[in-house]
Chain A
């Protein structure tokens, strides 16, 4: 299962061993559990508003038979269901009133696959945003050091792997798909249900191969593009356009050249979402096991190995946890 905080609600995707999935919306303030997308109208769920009785589901029928879709929030009203078995994203409008439900707006196709290739969705990450709409009031009552926070997700990072049918190993490394939310929202058509990759992907995304091990991590408005990278990467079309218009200078922003991988894709996949790389000169942050950050705080966390307190290792697998003697935490303040 997967759970993601979406404002005052939690979006929960649950699937079983047969990869049948349902999506729930849970109000973490009131306790209301509501099904927003299920595969059977007879599916019983718990509704705590109705004295823990079971209730019947709405009519929406979703047959999910092959793999597990996962819901990723785009903003307060849009949700993307990653459907790797169909090699597409289902963009849904999340309506809370009168009855919570997901309404499909369109399907955005992912990079077209070569014959006999399957797409496997690994994980999704988004930039940090507050979990509550009353964040501002909360902060002002706690006192704040610097008054800025981000209330909207700028980019979403998805990771995929590709596999030839009938083979057990994956092709190459995993692939990251960085999606600009602003570009994605503007790409949602009003009159077309299926949007080909070429109509939205190249201009709205950055698609590149990365090492398969850890998920992409956000660092404030940046992404750590690859594991152990010395640089962090910022995708921001607004910034790009503003800098271009105001300065007229040659920009440090760049776009990724297309790569040819005929094994898994039908043709070379080129994407043009501009980005800029910034060298991470802070050694503590670079050497940290991992970093977490919002717009105000940057925290470097270093796992300390028993007996070698100055030794830093970067493995997050379970067997390595036995050696960890603690965690050293360094907190930075932005501004």
Chain B
């Protein structure tokens, strides 16, 4: 009788029925050794039995050994323990070479190290479910997991690692390239885009859309949507900006004039139809030259935020750069907002700015022109 004490193997995943004569070779992970301890075998008798357990599969294996002598007391102790474990699901060991038998026969105890293992696929059969008693300590490889689980795990990888892991083996590469979900995750990460599609939108179609989108950018080939629209009624436009699909223009007519801006919602526009502009005029500003405008868009609300800081209101510094005095004139960061009325909602801070506007004669509410 003999038994496996510990074994750590990387076992290839076997699916379907293997053909006759094919052997699936196993390799050791690290330098783990199968230690075989037992009584001196009888001449021409079976060396013993042992079993190899992978996940849910009890497999008979063929193996070869390299022997070395050990002290008998140690061997006996191991033998007694392993015998209990191997009382049920054991399969006969294949024969070993005659010279090894001679070595074994001259020894009271023998430590055999497993040097190679092969499995005969024809013998793949489920013997019984593994139980805590019969289960041998094994470390399954990643590929033992189901494809669904592998996809879940791979989806957590950063794009660089997902690219790298594809180069480790064909199985993983095939899984990544053949799974629309992984392909989409990878491409979206690489191209730094997110999507606005509903959750139940199929990933295969999502992937197709993304490929089409990136191809368009790669080749700079775009679809003409609206052409040649003139906003000639607005003069002195300083700049345009595109924020969240709102095309916004700004013009500074000059000191004493209300600042103007306008926008058109490209999402609501129709192909080859006139763009509909909303033109707005801000109130007069005392300090047009120190004004900067930024636009922020949220929930159909276009916000124009204008900042204006009176000069020479900072605390003075002495030459040693240490702040030693504060100007008597309070320094105000004056800022103001206007909502531009896609949704016709007042912004929460709009009322607060009325106070500012009143005290500083800065701004009025926007009015349409």
- The smallest C-beta distance from B194 to any residue of chain A, in angstroms, reads 5
Q: In the bound complex, how far is the Cα of B242 from the Cα of A298, in angstroms?
A: 9
Q: Is A263 an interface residue (CB 8 A)?
A: no
B 255-300 contacts with A by CB, 8 A:
265-269, 275, 290, 292-300
Inter-subunit contact B164/A245 (CB<8 Å): yes
Q: Is A87 an interface residue (CB 8 A)?
A: no
Q: In the bound complex, how far is the Cα of B355 from the Cα of A67, in angstroms?
A: 34
Inter-subunit contact A31/B352 (CB<8 Å): yes
Contact residues in A for B303 (Cβ distance below 8 Å): 28
If the complex has contacts A20-B314, A40-B326, are A331 and B196 also in contact, measured as CB distance less than 8 A? no
Q: Which of A10, A139, A328 contacts B230, CB < 8 Å?
A: A328
Contact residues in B for A332 (Cβ distance below 8 Å): 222-225
Q: In the bound complex, how far is the Cα of B299 from the Cα of A137, in angstroms?
A: 7
Chain A residues at the B interface, C-beta cutoff of 8 Å: 1-5, 8, 10, 12, 14, 16-18, 20, 24, 26, 28-31, 33, 39-40, 42-46, 48, 52, 54, 63, 65, 128, 130-132, 134-152, 154, 220-222, 232, 238-239, 241-242, 245-246, 278-282, 285, 290, 292-299, 301, 304, 321, 324-335
- The smallest C-beta distance from B350 to any residue of chain A, in angstroms, reads 9
Closest A-B pairs by Cβ, 9 of them: A326-B232, A31-B349, A332-B222, A132-B298, A147-B196, A40-B323, A131-B296, A16-B314, A333-B225
24 A-B pairs with CB atoms under 8 Å apart are A1-B307, A3-B305, A3-B307, A14-B307, A28-B305, A31-B348, A40-B323, A46-B332, A48-B352, A52-B352, A54-B330, A65-B321, A131-B297, A132-B244, A132-B299, A138-B298, A138-B300, A147-B209, A148-B213, A221-B192, A232-B220, A239-B190, A304-B232, A335-B209
Inter-subunit contact A149/B226 (CB<8 Å): no
Q: Is B317 an interface residue (CB 8 A)?
A: yes
Contact residues in A for B234 (Cβ distance below 8 Å): 326-327
Q: In the bound complex, how far is the Cα of B347 from the Cα of A29, in angstroms?
A: 8
Q: Is B88 an interface residue (CB 8 A)?
A: no
Q: In the bound complex, how far is the Cα of B228 from the Cα of A132, in angstroms?
A: 30
If the complex has contacts A39-B323, A42-B323, are A149 and B193 also in contact, measured as CB distance less than 8 A? yes
Question: Which residue of A has the minimal Cβ distance to B215?
Answer: A335
Inter-subunit contact A1/B290 (CB<8 Å): yes
B 332-351 contacts with A by CB, 8 A:
332-335, 337, 348-349
Q: In the bound complex, how far is the Cα of B59 from the Cα of A163, in angstroms?
A: 78
Q: Which of B193, B266, B295 contacts A5, CB < 8 Å?
A: B295
B 209-245 contacts with A by CB, 8 A:
209-210, 212-213, 216-238, 240-245
If the complex has contacts A14-B309, A48-B352, A324-B235, are A135 and B244 also in contact, measured as CB distance less than 8 A? yes
B 11-38 contacts with A by CB, 8 A:
none
If the complex has contacts A327-B231, A332-B223, A335-B216, are A16 and B311 also in contact, measured as CB distance less than 8 A? yes
Inter-subunit contact B307/A144 (CB<8 Å): no
Q: Is B313 an interface residue (CB 8 A)?
A: yes
Contact residues in A for B230 (Cβ distance below 8 Å): 304, 326-329
Inter-subunit contact B242/A146 (CB<8 Å): no
Q: Is B369 an interface residue (CB 8 A)?
A: no
Chain B residues at the A interface, C-beta cutoff of 8 Å: 159-160, 163-164, 166-167, 186, 189-197, 209-210, 212-213, 216-238, 240-245, 247, 249, 265-269, 275, 290, 292-300, 303, 305, 307, 309, 311-315, 317, 321-323, 326, 330-335, 337, 348-349, 352-353, 355-356
Q: Which of B193, B221, B227, B290 contacts A148, CB < 8 Å?
A: B193
- The smallest C-beta distance from A299 to any residue of chain B, in angstroms, reads 6
Inter-subunit contact A246/B163 (CB<8 Å): yes
Contact residues in A for B159 (Cβ distance below 8 Å): 238, 242
Contact residues in B for A139 (Cβ distance below 8 Å): 196, 244-245, 267
Contact residues in A for B326 (Cβ distance below 8 Å): 40, 42-44
- The smallest C-beta distance from A260 to any residue of chain B, in angstroms, reads 33
Inter-subunit contact B330/A130 (CB<8 Å): no
Inter-subunit contact A3/B163 (CB<8 Å): no
Inter-subunit contact A146/B232 (CB<8 Å): no
Contact residues in A for B266 (Cβ distance below 8 Å): 297, 331
Q: Which of B238, B240, B268, B299 contacts A292, CB < 8 Å?
A: B240
If the complex has contacts A295-B193, A330-B228, A331-B266, are A30 and B348 also in contact, measured as CB distance less than 8 A? yes
Q: Which of B164, B220, B268, B337 contacts A278, CB < 8 Å?
A: B220
New A-B contacts (19) at CB < 8 Å, excluding given A48-B352, A294-B244: A16-B312, A29-B298, A29-B348, A29-B349, A46-B332, A52-B352, A128-B242, A134-B298, A138-B297, A141-B300, A150-B193, A238-B189, A242-B186, A245-B166, A246-B166, A295-B217, A296-B245, A297-B225, A330-B227
Question: Which residue of B has the minimal Cβ distance to A131?
Answer: B296
